[in-house]
Amino acid sequence: MTTPAEFILLMAGVLAILVVASIIGAILHNKLNRDGKNATITNLNSRIVAWWWMVALLALAVLAGRTGVLILFAILSFAALREFLTLTEKRRADHWALAAAFFVILPFQYVLIGIDWYGLYSIFIPVYAFLFLPILSALRSDTESFLNRVAETQWGLMICVFSASHVPALLTLDIPGYEGKSILLIAFLVFTVQFSDVMQYVWGKLLGRRRILPALSPSKTWEGFLGGTLTASLAGAGLWWLTPFTPIQAFLMALVITLLGFLGGIVMSAIKRDKGVKDWGHLIAGHGGFIDRLDSVVFSAPIFFHLTRYFWSTV
């Protein structure tokens, strides 16, 4: 698979955005944060630095082709599942079920996508893992909080492996007139969703007044939500040339995935509240954990995949 020219163009745009963001970050730092006491600006700058790394990694994976993208998302799934299952309820009796989740189910799901076996990868975790993992736990005869334990483990697999794997699954779609370009669907999805997150942050910081769900997420405001999803949907429409969609279709697709991304962020915040943590992890400076960055992507990826597959793909 060669990298389509459109991807290079998109990357040039992303680089321009990052350069501008870095300059703004540096100016803010010099004007308002000389002493390093402004936590918002310090956090903004660590976020921007982390973005450089994330973009570089994604670009490298795409240049390495289909295998590169599969490996990258398998690693992301691993890191996300580790964060998720660190917080879930588990006991010694779940040891084999947890080992199977990490070392059998996760790699197998990505292998299935690699060999393009749609009939199995679309049901493997919701059916087979769903039925077999509780069996592994039950065989050890520990019934305390049994339903909580198996349900939380399955939820982790659905979010961190099943949903996340639908990003590289986009590579398996056959769309007439779009041969060899399906990598651009990933670029469209990831860019739109992440741009929406960034713009929600920017609009929220600039204008945010009215909180949407104060008890759940103090940082989410109506101004941030509307500004962010609309800006990103318009940007998505402007990227129609990456996709098999017309500009209006691209706008609607972008709207669907940014809305799902926003709602996914809310669901994942509810889980963090429930478990009493602020961030999912600590490995991405300024952002928190991998799930903090991926939450919106995992909620939009399966729906984006199935909409595109149903309306545009031949299989």
Partner 1 sequence: MLKSLVAQLLGGGIAMFARAITASRAIWDGIEPVQAQRIYFANHTSNGDFVLIWTVLPPSLRARTRPVAASDYWLTTPIRAFIGTDVFNAVLIDRNPETRKLDPVTQMVEALDEGASLIIFPEGTRNTSREPLLPFKHGLFFLASKRPETDLVPVWIENLNNVMPKGEIIPIPLICTVRFGSPIHLAAGEPKGAFLDRAGKALLALSGDGERRP
The residues of the shown chain that bind partner 1, judged by CB under 8 A, are: 78-79, 82-83, 85-87, 90, 92, 95, 98-99, 102-103, 275-278, 281-283
Reading the block at residue 199, the tokens are: 């713009």
Query: Residue 49 Cβ, how far from partner 1 at the closest point, in Å?
Result: 19
Query: Residue 94 Cβ, how far from partner 1 at the closest point, in Å?
Result: 9
For 76, other C-beta atoms within 10 Å of its C-beta total 24
- Angle CA(246)–CA(250)–CA(254) in degrees, nearest 5? 175
CA atoms within 13 A on the CB side of 193: 26
Give the bridge partners for 212, in sequence order: none
Query: Residue 217 Cβ, how far from partner 1 at the closest point, in Å?
Result: 16
For 187, other C-beta atoms within 10 Å of its C-beta total 23
Q: List, in sequence order, the alpha helices (H) in 33-101.
A: 39-63, 66-87, 95-100
Query: Residue 124 Cβ, how far from partner 1 at the closest point, in Å?
Result: 21
Query: Residue 76 Cβ, how far from partner 1 at the closest point, in Å?
Result: 14
Query: Residue 8 Cβ, how far from partner 1 at the closest point, in Å?
Result: 33
Which CA distances in Å does 14 have to 42, 43, 64, 194, 229?
22, 20, 19, 11, 18
Smaller CB separation from partner 1, 136 or 257: 136
Please state, in angstroms and rounded to a whole number, the distance separating the CA atoms of residues 124 and 120: 5
Please state, in angstroms and rounded to a whole number, the distance separating the CA atoms of residues 24 and 51: 14
Smaller CB separation from partner 1, 148 or 246: 148
Smaller CB separation from partner 1, 13 or 218: 218
Smaller CB separation from partner 1, 78 or 262: 78
Smaller CB separation from partner 1, 10 or 85: 85
Smaller CB separation from partner 1, 181 or 293: 293
